[in-house]
Structure 1
Amino acid sequence: MNKHKTILIISSFFAVIPCFTQNPGFPVKTVIQFLLVVLILSGCSKSDIAKSSQVLAKVDDKEITTSYFERQIKNLPESVQRLSLEGEGKRAILEGMINREILYKEAVKRGINKDAEIKRRLEDMEKELVISTFIQREFGSRLMVEDKEVQDYYNTHINEFKNREEIRISQIIVSEEKDAGDILGKLKEGKDFGALAAEYSVDKPTAVRKGDVGYFTYKMLPAEIRDIVFGMRTGEISGPYKMPDGYEIYKITDRRTVSYSFEQVKNAVKLQLIDQKIQDSLKALLDDLKKDMKIQINESLLK
């Protein structure tokens, strides 16, 4: 890759990222929230604070410090980080950051930051970050999982990892039932599932993969759909199903039987055990906190 392409890729990558997309929507899984906060807290060292007085660039009165610059590089995908080490790579990243500040200042000038939807999303993000930080501080030191615990779990649940039947799922998620019906109509006409997922699915991380979600065991699927979906044949399409994220349409693209060694699943099992500890600790805490709170639910509005 030549120097000009490197500059273009990195600069464009940085110029178009809104400040809040580095934490897109905040994860649903509590364990991911916990790990996110650990990463955030561990990323602020004394050396960062010391370097913060060194101004690398300014856009009007906005300073871009060396510590901020280095943190932004660390937030980039590894492939782009490697590009930043090539020739003019760092300058390209800085130019991208300058462009982002220019765009931000113009957006603020036009009052975009006062938009009600922006404020709502920021409030939601703040709440999630506060909760995540609370969880980390409350349980962080008590929720470590030792390697022996992981090995013991693998040994006592060996049947979960040997000759395991899995299905590969692609999905299309839309917000409205009518849209789901329209997409089913297109599928019946012979339209490509992946192309429709890329065009219409509101779940962008899977949309860019043409709907591919990966492999799942029976137990990994939501209880309300696992019997139907796991019983589908390869190539079969089913749905729509009303789920928390919207109306979902599924296609089974592969079915396999596979065995996993301890090394292959060690990290996944560790996360699973951490997640379980978090859930157990949170339940105990919530049960205790609820004793001192008055909670009222209008059941008629839930029907």
Structure 2
Amino acid sequence: MKPILRLFLVLGVLLAACPVGAAEVVDRVVAVVNGQAVTMFELNQHMRPLLDRFRGRELTAEEKAAIVKMRSDLLQKIVDEMLINQEVEKLGLTATDAEVQSSVERFYKQNAMTAEDFDKQLLLEGMTREQFADSVRKDILKHRLLGFMVRRKVVVSDEEVKAYYEKHIDSFQKDKEIGLSVILLPSNDDAEALRQRIQKGEITFADAANLYSRGPGVGQGGSLGRVAWADLAPDWHESLEGLRPGDMTKPFDFRGHTALLRVDELQSGQTRPLEEVMEEIRDRLFGEQAEARFSEYMEKLRADAVIEIKL
């Protein structure tokens, strides 16, 4: 099984609701955030990964409408990132090169990869190590901002921990393993439409993975093989909770992609006692509540900022 590369780069969409290959004649400003401009060129750079997918054919009316919405959504993500960066600069938060390098190394070692394996996986994902490191740096700074402005407002009680344990008891099994297949797509709209086609029997999950996925397992039906439940990301746990072999998750966000998972097999283990997992659950709930507070914080940043959208 090839480890899953947790993508940090925001994937783009097509640059306009027109046949691929058309170009902007003149670069222009598409947004201004507290006096800082976003240009069409910058927006197009984020869109570039999808150009090859549609190259050489006319877009349908549905695709054109979806692209307009996706381009608007992407611009909002860029604006939010600018607001975060402005706050990071205002507060003087930094991440050293050594910290970034340590995080990169920890990432690929935790995923059982050598440095060479990691570079090969980056190549498959269309990223350079420098791009990945830049995304790691931004992630570190975002979490520092989160800690500085948000985390101090979050408290998780013992009662909340116990309630979560009882609701997700199946998740706390020693040596639990799960066989998975995955499809990674650029947008939720694409993923939901594909999920409906799979459910209707119009296409198999394996064929859909081979044709459309931008993640690992392409050519093998999206198969990741059998993995330890404990090694999966928390958002994967939430999406897979209660599913049985043959079941498929609903689309969920995964580091700039939208993911669909199918359970291929499931091997249970012994249930871990509450005392053993209490701090693990507390950390998970803390993270969820912190993200909720962060969303509220972002809403305040947007409300206080001077933002002009010219797209």
Tell me the TM-score range normalised by the shorter chain. 0.3 to 0.5
Which structure has more relative contact order (CA 8 Å, sep 6+)? It is 2
- Compare CA radii of gyration and give the structure with the larger one: 1
Q: How does the TM-score come out when normalised to structure 2? A: 0.38
Q: How does the TM-score come out when normalised to structure 1? A: 0.38
